[in-house]
Chains A and B, each alone.
Chain A
Amino acid sequence: EVQLVEFGGGLVKPGGSLRLSCAASGFTFSRHSMNWVRQAPGKGLEWVSSISSSSNYIYYGDSVKGRFTISRDNAKNSLYLQMNSLSAEDTAVYYCAREVCNGGNCYFDYWGQGTLVTVSS
Protein backbone atom coordinates (compact mmCIF):
# COMPACT_ATOMS: atom_id res chain seq x y z
CA GLU A 1 0.00 0.00 0.00
CA VAL A 2 1.38 3.39 -1.00
CA GLN A 3 1.85 5.68 1.99
CA LEU A 4 3.12 9.23 2.19
CA VAL A 5 3.54 10.72 5.64
CA GLU A 6 4.55 14.34 6.09
CA PHE A 7 5.98 15.78 9.26
CA GLY A 8 7.93 18.77 10.45
CA GLY A 9 5.17 21.36 10.37
CA GLY A 10 4.55 23.76 13.23
CA LEU A 11 4.52 27.37 14.35
CA VAL A 12 7.34 29.59 13.13
CA LYS A 13 7.93 33.32 13.32
CA PRO A 14 8.00 35.52 10.22
CA GLY A 15 11.43 35.40 8.65
CA GLY A 16 12.11 32.00 10.17
CA SER A 17 12.86 28.64 8.61
CA LEU A 18 11.36 25.17 8.72
CA ARG A 19 12.17 21.84 7.12
CA LEU A 20 9.40 19.49 6.10
CA SER A 21 9.88 15.80 5.48
CA CYS A 22 7.79 13.21 3.69
CA ALA A 23 8.35 9.52 4.36
CA ALA A 24 7.32 7.26 1.49
CA SER A 25 6.56 3.55 1.59
CA GLY A 26 4.78 0.89 -0.42
CA PHE A 27 6.37 1.72 -3.76
CA THR A 28 9.76 2.17 -5.40
CA PHE A 29 10.40 5.74 -4.34
CA SER A 30 13.44 6.19 -6.58
CA ARG A 31 11.34 5.69 -9.72
CA HIS A 32 8.97 8.61 -9.17
CA SER A 33 9.11 12.37 -9.35
CA MET A 34 7.71 13.91 -6.20
CA ASN A 35 5.96 17.17 -5.47
CA TRP A 36 4.91 19.51 -2.69
CA VAL A 37 1.47 21.13 -2.91
CA ARG A 38 0.09 23.51 -0.31
CA GLN A 39 -3.33 24.71 0.75
CA ALA A 40 -3.81 27.90 2.75
CA PRO A 41 -6.65 27.81 5.31
CA GLY A 42 -9.98 27.90 3.49
CA LYS A 43 -8.25 28.27 0.12
CA GLY A 44 -7.48 26.15 -2.92
CA LEU A 45 -4.50 24.05 -3.90
CA GLU A 46 -1.20 25.60 -4.97
CA TRP A 47 1.68 23.65 -6.47
CA VAL A 48 4.94 24.45 -4.67
CA SER A 49 7.76 22.38 -6.12
CA SER A 50 8.74 19.20 -7.91
CA ILE A 51 11.85 17.04 -8.07
CA SER A 52 12.59 14.30 -10.56
CA SER A 53 13.45 10.75 -9.55
CA SER A 54 17.20 11.32 -9.51
CA SER A 55 17.02 14.99 -8.56
CA ASN A 56 18.15 16.08 -12.02
CA TYR A 57 15.15 18.30 -12.60
CA ILE A 58 13.82 20.67 -9.95
CA TYR A 59 11.10 23.26 -10.40
CA TYR A 60 9.44 25.81 -8.13
CA GLY A 61 6.30 27.87 -8.17
CA ASP A 62 6.86 31.60 -8.51
CA SER A 63 5.72 32.36 -4.95
CA VAL A 64 8.45 30.25 -3.33
CA LYS A 65 11.31 30.54 -5.82
CA GLY A 66 14.53 31.58 -4.10
CA ARG A 67 13.18 30.81 -0.62
CA PHE A 68 12.29 27.11 -0.68
CA THR A 69 14.53 24.18 -1.59
CA ILE A 70 13.25 20.73 -2.46
CA SER A 71 15.45 17.66 -2.08
CA ARG A 72 15.18 13.91 -1.70
CA ASP A 73 17.12 10.96 -0.35
CA ASN A 74 16.25 7.84 -2.32
CA ALA A 75 18.18 5.64 0.11
CA LYS A 76 15.88 6.81 2.89
CA ASN A 77 12.70 6.98 0.76
CA SER A 78 12.30 10.57 1.87
CA LEU A 79 11.35 13.90 0.36
CA TYR A 80 12.21 17.24 1.94
CA LEU A 81 11.26 20.89 1.70
CA GLN A 82 13.54 23.48 3.27
CA MET A 83 11.57 26.69 3.74
CA ASN A 84 13.38 29.96 4.48
CA SER A 85 12.30 33.58 4.86
CA LEU A 86 8.81 32.49 5.78
CA SER A 87 5.93 34.95 5.82
CA ALA A 88 2.27 34.78 6.83
CA GLU A 89 1.40 34.01 3.19
CA ASP A 90 3.20 30.67 3.56
CA THR A 91 0.76 29.51 6.25
CA ALA A 92 -0.81 26.38 4.81
CA VAL A 93 -1.16 22.64 4.96
CA TYR A 94 1.70 21.18 2.95
CA TYR A 95 1.09 17.92 1.10
CA CYS A 96 3.60 15.70 -0.59
CA ALA A 97 2.31 13.97 -3.68
CA ARG A 98 3.60 11.23 -5.95
CA GLU A 99 3.76 12.11 -9.61
CA VAL A 100 2.93 9.68 -12.39
CA CYS A 101 3.45 10.46 -16.06
CA ASN A 102 1.82 8.51 -18.86
CA GLY A 103 2.86 9.45 -22.35
CA GLY A 104 3.78 12.95 -21.25
CA ASN A 105 0.58 13.44 -19.27
CA CYS A 106 1.36 13.85 -15.59
CA TYR A 107 -0.79 13.78 -12.49
CA PHE A 108 -0.60 13.15 -8.74
CA ASP A 109 -1.94 9.72 -7.90
CA TYR A 110 -1.16 9.60 -4.17
CA TRP A 111 -1.12 12.35 -1.56
CA GLY A 112 -0.03 12.43 2.04
CA GLN A 113 -2.29 13.61 4.85
CA GLY A 114 -0.50 16.96 5.04
CA THR A 115 1.37 18.89 7.70
CA LEU A 116 0.33 22.35 8.90
CA VAL A 117 2.77 25.23 8.79
CA THR A 118 1.73 28.37 10.63
CA VAL A 119 3.78 31.54 10.28
CA SER A 120 2.93 34.01 13.00
CA SER A 121 4.59 36.18 15.58
Chain B
Amino acid sequence: QSVLTQPPSASGTPGQRVTISCSGSSSNIGSNSVNWYQQLPGTAPELLIYINNQRPSGVPDRFSGSKSGTSASLAISGLQSEDEADYYCAAWDDSLNGPVFGGGTQLTVL
Protein backbone atom coordinates (compact mmCIF):
# COMPACT_ATOMS: atom_id res chain seq x y z
CA GLN B 1 0.00 0.00 0.00
CA SER B 2 1.43 3.35 -1.06
CA VAL B 3 1.89 6.23 1.36
CA LEU B 4 0.25 8.71 -1.03
CA THR B 5 -3.22 7.87 -2.31
CA GLN B 6 -4.18 8.21 -5.95
CA PRO B 7 -7.14 6.82 -7.88
CA PRO B 8 -5.98 3.73 -9.78
CA SER B 9 -7.52 4.88 -13.03
CA ALA B 10 -8.86 7.91 -14.87
CA SER B 11 -10.18 8.46 -18.35
CA GLY B 12 -11.33 11.12 -20.75
CA THR B 13 -12.02 11.79 -24.39
CA PRO B 14 -9.75 13.84 -26.65
CA GLY B 15 -9.98 17.52 -25.85
CA GLN B 16 -11.43 16.96 -22.40
CA ARG B 17 -9.94 18.08 -19.11
CA VAL B 18 -9.11 15.47 -16.49
CA THR B 19 -7.76 15.75 -12.99
CA ILE B 20 -5.88 13.25 -10.88
CA SER B 21 -5.84 13.62 -7.11
CA CYS B 22 -3.11 12.75 -4.64
CA SER B 23 -3.68 12.61 -0.90
CA GLY B 24 -1.01 12.44 1.78
CA SER B 25 -0.32 13.54 5.32
CA SER B 26 1.39 16.24 7.35
CA SER B 27 4.79 14.50 7.12
CA ASN B 28 4.86 14.52 3.34
CA ILE B 29 2.52 16.68 1.24
CA GLY B 30 1.60 18.80 4.25
CA SER B 31 5.17 19.96 4.72
CA ASN B 32 6.88 19.42 1.37
CA SER B 33 6.27 20.15 -2.28
CA VAL B 34 4.67 17.70 -4.66
CA ASN B 35 6.14 16.35 -7.88
CA TRP B 36 4.45 14.44 -10.66
CA TYR B 37 5.98 11.86 -12.97
CA GLN B 38 4.64 10.52 -16.24
CA GLN B 39 5.44 6.98 -17.30
CA LEU B 40 4.54 6.14 -20.86
CA PRO B 41 3.98 2.43 -21.59
CA GLY B 42 7.22 0.45 -21.47
CA THR B 43 9.40 3.43 -20.61
CA ALA B 44 11.07 4.98 -17.58
CA PRO B 45 9.29 7.67 -15.55
CA GLU B 46 9.85 11.28 -16.55
CA LEU B 47 9.47 14.45 -14.53
CA LEU B 48 6.21 16.18 -15.43
CA ILE B 49 5.60 18.73 -12.66
CA TYR B 50 7.96 19.78 -9.90
CA ILE B 51 7.56 21.88 -6.78
CA ASN B 52 3.77 21.71 -6.95
CA ASN B 53 3.18 23.56 -10.21
CA GLN B 54 6.40 24.05 -12.17
CA ARG B 55 6.82 22.51 -15.61
CA PRO B 56 10.20 21.36 -16.94
CA SER B 57 11.07 22.75 -20.33
CA GLY B 58 9.34 20.76 -23.03
CA VAL B 59 6.26 19.90 -20.98
CA PRO B 60 3.17 21.46 -22.58
CA ASP B 61 1.19 23.98 -20.56
CA ARG B 62 -1.78 21.62 -20.88
CA PHE B 63 -0.33 20.00 -17.76
CA SER B 64 -0.71 21.86 -14.47
CA GLY B 65 -0.32 21.02 -10.81
CA SER B 66 -1.67 22.39 -7.58
CA LYS B 67 -1.41 21.67 -3.88
CA SER B 68 -3.55 22.51 -0.88
CA GLY B 69 -2.89 21.27 2.62
CA THR B 70 -2.16 17.55 2.47
CA SER B 71 -3.56 17.03 -1.03
CA ALA B 72 -2.45 17.78 -4.55
CA SER B 73 -3.84 17.40 -8.02
CA LEU B 74 -2.65 17.15 -11.59
CA ALA B 75 -4.82 18.61 -14.33
CA ILE B 76 -4.52 17.79 -17.99
CA SER B 77 -6.49 19.96 -20.38
CA GLY B 78 -7.03 19.39 -24.10
CA LEU B 79 -6.47 15.67 -23.58
CA GLN B 80 -4.55 13.93 -26.37
CA SER B 81 -4.04 10.28 -27.20
CA GLU B 82 -0.33 10.55 -26.41
CA ASP B 83 -1.24 11.45 -22.82
CA GLU B 84 -2.14 7.80 -22.18
CA ALA B 85 0.29 6.87 -19.44
CA ASP B 86 0.67 6.16 -15.74
CA TYR B 87 0.96 9.24 -13.55
CA TYR B 88 2.63 9.21 -10.14
CA CYS B 89 2.65 11.88 -7.48
CA ALA B 90 5.55 12.06 -5.05
CA ALA B 91 6.60 14.13 -2.07
CA TRP B 92 9.49 14.07 0.33
CA ASP B 93 8.58 12.49 3.65
CA ASP B 94 10.17 14.00 6.73
CA SER B 95 10.18 10.69 8.59
CA LEU B 96 11.82 8.78 5.73
CA ASN B 97 14.48 11.23 4.51
CA GLY B 98 13.36 10.24 1.06
CA PRO B 99 10.36 10.53 -1.22
CA VAL B 100 7.12 8.62 -1.03
CA PHE B 101 5.09 7.90 -4.13
CA GLY B 102 1.44 7.44 -4.90
CA GLY B 103 0.31 4.12 -6.29
CA GLY B 104 -0.07 5.60 -9.74
CA THR B 105 -3.05 6.49 -11.90
CA GLN B 106 -3.48 4.86 -15.28
CA LEU B 107 -4.93 7.42 -17.67
CA THR B 108 -6.91 6.14 -20.63
CA VAL B 109 -7.89 8.37 -23.53
CA LEU B 110 -11.12 6.98 -24.89
Contact = CB atoms under 8 A, between A and B. Distances in A.
Interface of A: 35, 37, 44-47, 49-50, 59, 61-62, 95, 102, 105-114
Contacts of B46: 111
A90 B101 CA distance: 17
A107 B51 contact: yes
Interface in B35-79: 35, 37, 43-47, 50-51, 56
Interface of B: 2, 32-33, 35, 37, 43-47, 50-51, 56, 88, 90, 92, 96-104
Contacts of B100: 47
A109 B50 contact: yes
A106 B43 CA distance: 22
A46 B2 CA distance: 9
Q: Would you list the 4 A-B pairs with minimal beta carbon distance, nearest first? A: A105-B33, A107-B35, A59-B97, A44-B104
A50 B98 contact: yes
Nearest to B97: A59
Given A44-B2, A111-B44, A105 B101 contact: no
Contacts, number: 62
Contacts of B2: 44
Contacts of B97: 50, 59
Nearest to A46: B101
Most chain B beta carbons < 10 A, residue from A37, A62, A95 = A37
Contacts of A59: 96-98
B96 to A, nearest CB: 7
A110 B98 CA distance: 16
B99 A44 contact: no
Contacts of B50: 102, 105, 107, 109
